Chain A
Amino acid sequence: MPQPILRTENLSYSYDNVTMALSGVTLDIPKGKKTVFLGPNGAGKSTLFLHLNGVLKPDSGTVFYEGKKISYDSSSLAELRKNIALVFQNPDDQIFSATVEEDVAFGPLNLGLNREEVGRRVDEALSWIGLENSREKPTQQLSFGERKRVALAGALAMKPNVLVMDEPTAGLDYEMVHELLELSDELNNRGLTVIISTHDVETAYEWADEVRALNAGRLVFSGGSDEFFEQAELLHDLGLMPPLAFLLNQQFHLRTGSPEKPYPRNIVELSQKFFSTTNQSVGKITLVCVDEEDIQQMAPRDDLLSVSHMHSGVFGSTARRIARKRQLDVHYRFHAVEFGLLAASQGSDFTIYTDSSLCGLVESKVKELEMHTGLHIDVTKASKK
Chain B
Amino acid sequence: MHETSMDRLYLHSPFRNWPPLGKLVLSLALILATLFTNSPAVPLVVLAIGTILFSLSSKFYLPRIFLFACIDTLLVILIGALIIALLTPGSTLLSAELGPLTLYLTREGMNLGVLVFLRAVADLSILLFFASSTSIPHFFTALRQVGLPASISELAVLIYRYSFLLADQVELMITAAQCRLGFKGLRNSIRTISIITACVFSRSMDLAERGQYALYCRNFQGSFPSFKTPPKMTAVWVIVPIAIFFILYYLGYLTSGWLVL
Contacts and interface: CB of A to CB of B under 8 A. Distances in A.
Contacts of B74: none
A118 to B, nearest CB: 6
From DSSP, what is the main secondary structure of chain A's interface residues? helix
A201 interface: no
Contacts of B161: 95-98, 139-140
Given A96-B158, A102-B226, A88 B219 contact: no
From DSSP, what is the main secondary structure of chain B's interface residues? helix
Interface string B218-232: 111100111110000
Contacts of B227: 101-102, 105-106, 109, 115, 118-119, 122
A136 interface: yes
Given A94-B218, A109-B227, A158-B218, A88 B4 contact: no
Nearest to B158: A96
Contacts, number: 99
Between A82, A93, A94, A136, the greatest number of chain B beta carbons within 10 A of the residue's beta carbon is seen for: A93
A241 interface: no
Nearest to A112: B221
A55 interface: yes
Contacts of A53: 217
Contact of B215 (A96, A99, A138): A96
Interface residues of A, number: 40
B216 interface: yes
B210 A93 contact: yes
B160 A98 contact: yes
Nearest to B211: A93
Interface in A57-86: 77-78, 81-82, 85-86
Contact of A98 (B135, B214, B219, B221): B135
A110 B226 contact: no
A86 B214 CA distance: 8
Contacts of B216: 55, 77, 81
Given A82-B219, A85-B217, A110-B220, 11 more contacts: A53-B217, A81-B218, A81-B219, A88-B217, A93-B211, A109-B227, A110-B221, A111-B219, A137-B11, A140-B7, A140-B164
Interface of B: 1, 3-4, 7-8, 11, 135-137, 157-158, 160-161, 164-165, 207, 210-211, 213-221, 224-228
